[in-house]
Amino acid sequence: MHTMKTIHSLLLLFFTFILPPAWGEDLVTPVSQPSKADGKSLLTSGIEDGGLGTLRIGNRRIRVEIASTPRSREHGLMQRDYLCDDCGMLFIFEKAAIYSFWMQDTLLPLSIAFIASDGSIINIEEMKPNTTDAHNSQDDALYALEMNSGWFARNNISPAEKAHELRPVSKAR
């Protein structure tokens, strides 16, 4: 019995303090405009956290929900059981860095594209639902885009392709 408590305690310690959070490091400043350290930035639309926008990637225009605060990035697409074909979540970070995502409590299989500050895709990873496997950017990313599993491959989107033209979704009058 004592051994089981020890194992439970060690697992709790691992998942709480050692394993990185699903959305990367804990950044505390909300974003309305991302850093323009290199003079180029994909996002200049000022869409607020939780807001909806459209983004052009390859020859496709997709609908994205914005996750730009630590809380919304941490929650991401967890507990959702549906994502439309051309819909996704765009994670916006305060600074370009190496970020790591996992799929704990995420029900849908997803693909993730890590995107540099100039909009170019760094790498694309396939992520299985309800796992704690780490999926990392291969270089400094300012954005991450989650879509349904296989979306990038089905649409012939590959690394070095650019994401651009983020626009707020117009409200009907």
* Strands, sheet with 121-127, edge to edge from the N-terminal-most edge strand: 121-127, 110-115, 141-148, 87-97, 60-67, 52-57, 163-168
12: left (phi over 0), alpha (psi -120 to 50) or beta: alpha
Tell me what the pLDDT averaged over the chain comes to.
81
Least Cα distance to 23 among 101, 96, 124, 110 occurs for 101
> What proportion of the chain, given as a percentage, has pLDDT over 90?
69
Tell me how crowded residue 16 is: count the other CB atoms within 10 A of its CB: 8
**What is the token pair recorded at 37?**
């350290």
What was the pLDDT predicted at 33? 40
Of the chain, the percentage scoring pLDDT greater than 70 comes to: 72
Q: pLDDT tens across 115-172, in order?
A: 999 999 999 999 999 999 999 999 999 999 999 999 999 999 999 999 999 999 866 5
| Distance, CA of 1 to CA of 159 (rounded, Å) | 50
Domain ranges, ordered by start, for the chain: 23-168
Q: What is the pLDDT of residues 6-21, one digit of tens each?
A: 444 444 434 433 344 4
Average pLDDT over residues 49-57: 95
Is CATH 2.60.120.1140 correct for 23-168? yes
